[in-house]
């Protein structure tokens, strides 16, 4: 889709970046506590169909933090079956998904937090339990733009109904700040979600650990996501079709990452989609980390902010970009 602003018009399955929605909904409804566990054997059978976890051998017993850190799918399947789609969709909208934001751009997408009524109206079909299972991990009918995911992340970080804005002032008159009012979440529940997101980026078993920020003052909390462009059928699985890399480019998974930083006093929220990029851990998280550091340092960050394995690559990149930047004329000289 050339000439479209994909940051506000592009709609994608949010994949595992949606898991915070499912987790917070379950916490707010009292369905699960932070230390309660769900057993993941690698799949969950629902209505004679197996819904697979990305880790086929399973994660074993996982609690909220472990499930988000290692991105266990079965944990969220289980929560969604207890929640139901209406409560899940209500939480998604509260966090900004399925909302058309009032920003001065054309064709800003609404996104989709699907409900039973929506499916009936859109397709003339009843909602089925498998739809709820898919929605729990940001697949199926759920759709969000990068803007939606940035707002979702900012709301999780702040607990407020943050609104996006592009214009700071008009004619010297400040426009509304966009900070919004409190969303009235239980603060303890929000802390659990934020801590789990921190674990994603800073625990050695977190899916974004390889893209962490080393500088203590700027540590980030995040979530990786990989969203399917096409389903792999049971028949294809039996024939060994499981590798995303074996598919044509336009049928490969999208890679996503969302984060906020600094963890202790958030200033920015980032969302990033790499179309058909594959896994969020490998393709999206490193880019989002680099954007975050550039924003927080207002320029090239010191190499000590990066994991040691990345420093030579970052040094070479910074040097190349400096060479390629157009020189700024010295306006103080004739």
Burial of 205 (0-12, 13-18, 19+ CB in 10 A): exposed
Q: Which residue has the tokens 């990066």?
A: 306
For residues 15 and 258, the answer to whether their CB atoms sit within 8 Å is no
The pair phi, psi for residue 33, each rounded to 5°, is -105, 170
Q: What distance in Å separates the CA atoms of residue 257 and residue 213, rounded to the nearest whole number?
A: 14
Q: What distance in Å separates the CA atoms of residue 219 and residue 228, rounded to the nearest whole number?
A: 29
16 is catalytic: yes
Question: Given 4, 5, 7, 16, which residue is catalytic?
Answer: 16
Residues facing residue 226 across a β-bridge: 255
For residue 254 the two structure tokens come to 């999208």
For residue 62 the two structure tokens come to 């996982």
For residues 142 and 228, the answer to whether their CB atoms sit within 8 Å is no
| 299 Cβ contact partners less than 8 Å away, ≥ 6 residues apart | none
For residues 272 and 257, the answer to whether their CB atoms sit within 8 Å is yes
Q: Which residues are tagged catalytic?
A: 16
């Amino acid at each position: 889709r050339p000439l479209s602003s994909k940051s506000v018009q592009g709609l994608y399955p949010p994949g595992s970046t949606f898991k915070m929605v499912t987790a917070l909904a379950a916490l707010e409804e009292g369905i699960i506590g932070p230390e309660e566990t769900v057993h993941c054997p690698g799949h969950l059978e629902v209505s004679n169909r197996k819904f697979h976890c990305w880790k086929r051998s399973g994660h074993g017993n996982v609690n909220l933090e472990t499930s988000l850190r290692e991105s266990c799918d079965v944990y969220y399947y289980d929560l969604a079956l207890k929640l139901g789609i209406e409560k899940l969709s209500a939480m998604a909208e509260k966090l900004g998904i399925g909302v058309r934001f009032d920003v001065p751009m054309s064709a800003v997408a609404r996104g989709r937090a699907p409900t039973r009524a929506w499916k009936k109206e859109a397709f003339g079909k009843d909602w089925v339990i498998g739809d709820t299972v898919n929605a729990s991990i940001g697949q199926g009918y759920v759709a969000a733009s990068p803007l939606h995911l940035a707002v979702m992340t900012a709301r999780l970080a702040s607990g407020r109904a943050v609104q996006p804005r592009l214009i700071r002032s008009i004619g010297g008159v400040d426009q509304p700040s966009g900070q919004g009012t409190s969303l009235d979440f239980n603060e303890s529940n929000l802390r659990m979600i934020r801590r789990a997101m921190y674990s994603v980026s800073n625990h050695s078993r977190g899916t974004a650990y390889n893209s962490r920020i080393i500088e203590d003052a700027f540590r980030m909390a995040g979530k990786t996501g990989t969203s399917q462009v096409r389903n792999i059928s049971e028949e294809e699985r039996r024939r060994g079709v499981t590798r995303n890399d074996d598919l044509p480019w336009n049928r490969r998974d999208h890679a996503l990452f969302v984060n906020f930083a600094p963890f202790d006093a958030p200033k920015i929220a980032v969302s990033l989609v790499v179309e058909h990029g594959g896994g969020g851990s490998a393709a999206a998280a490193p880019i989002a980390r680099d954007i975050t550091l550039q924003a927080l340092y207002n320029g090239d960050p010191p190499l000590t902010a990066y994991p040691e394995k990345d420093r030579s690559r970052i040094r070479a990149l910074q040097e190349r970009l400096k060479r390629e930047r157009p020189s700024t004329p010295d306006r103080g000289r004739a």
